[in-house]
Chains A and B, each alone.
Chain A
Amino acid sequence: EAGVAQSPRYKIIEKRQSVAFWCNPISGHATLYWYQQILGQGPKLLIQFQNNGVVDDSQLPKDRFSAERLKGVDSTLKIQPAKLEDSAVYLCASSLSPGTGTFYEQYFGPGTRLTVT
């Protein structure tokens, strides 16, 4: 079974430029998550989708970050304009749909390492 796919793997941009990341979840996984991991810290959730609807975006800096999941499969995360503090690894994860009394595990893609100069 193919895992979570992400691209690009690495990106270097200058501050104030824009950048976009792409994620394709594991086949059949309805829930998709974008996390930001800053060096030395654990991943922090930015946004969670259930199919193509947003479940939680409370920690997404909406003045500069946006995300979409059209058709409930692939997702794109965009940053515009980027700041120096956005330098981090952006991780996409997916899981099966939550069910009452049933727990599903999240699986991560390889991540995109963003450097903002």
Chain B
Amino acid sequence: QKEVEQNSGPLSVPEGAIASLNCTYSDRVSQSFFWYRQYSGKSPELIMSIYSNGDKEDGRFTAQLNKASQYVSLLIRDSQPSDSATYLCAVGKSSGDKLTFGTGTRLAVRP
């Protein structure tokens, strides 16, 4: 079992729709959870962090965490073509700890 699992996609959604990206992790002691966006040929860019159960909203992005189910998700509302990228889920055991990344989900937003 992989430590952090993501569906590789591609996930294709029409412009204006909600994109839902999912991630599961295997280590129950994980405490920090991140979503990074990576455009082709670029480095990962942090877009969301979440540390406690529930939802966290920032603009068009909402991160959801369920530690009991070991599940974290990212919702992108009003998807734009500029959101087309690979989204990496990353998990850490504690503050300042190394991050374990999933392989990423490729999102394509159709105009």
A104 and B46 within 8 A (CB): no
Contacts of B101 in A (CB 8 A): 42-44
A91 and B96 within 8 A (CB): no
Residues of A within 8 A of B (CB): 31, 33, 40-45, 48, 50, 56, 89, 91, 95-111
Interface residues of B in 22-41 (CB under 8 A from A): 31-32, 34, 36
Cβ distance A100 to chain B, nearest Cβ, rounded Å: 8
B46 and A109 within 8 A (CB): no
Contacts of B90 in A (CB 8 A): 42
Cβ distance B109 to chain A, nearest Cβ, rounded Å: 21
Given known pairs A42-B103, A110-B42, the reply for A105 and B49 (CB within 8 Å) is yes
Cβ distance A4 to chain B, nearest Cβ, rounded Å: 9
How many B residues touch A, CB cutoff 8 Å?
24
Quick one: which of A40, A97, A108 contacts B96, CB cutoff 8 A?
A97
Contacts of A102 in B (CB 8 A): 95
Contacts of A109 in B (CB 8 A): 43
- Give the distance in Å from the alpha carbon of A103 to the alpha carbon of B65 in the complex: 16
Q: List 11 A-B contacts (CB under 8 A).
A: A42-B102, A42-B103, A43-B44, A50-B96, A103-B32, A105-B34, A106-B46, A106-B99, A108-B43, A109-B43, A111-B43
- Give the distance in Å from the alpha carbon of A33 to the alpha carbon of B90 in the complex: 14
Interface residues of B in 80-111 (CB under 8 A from A): 88, 90, 94-99, 101-104
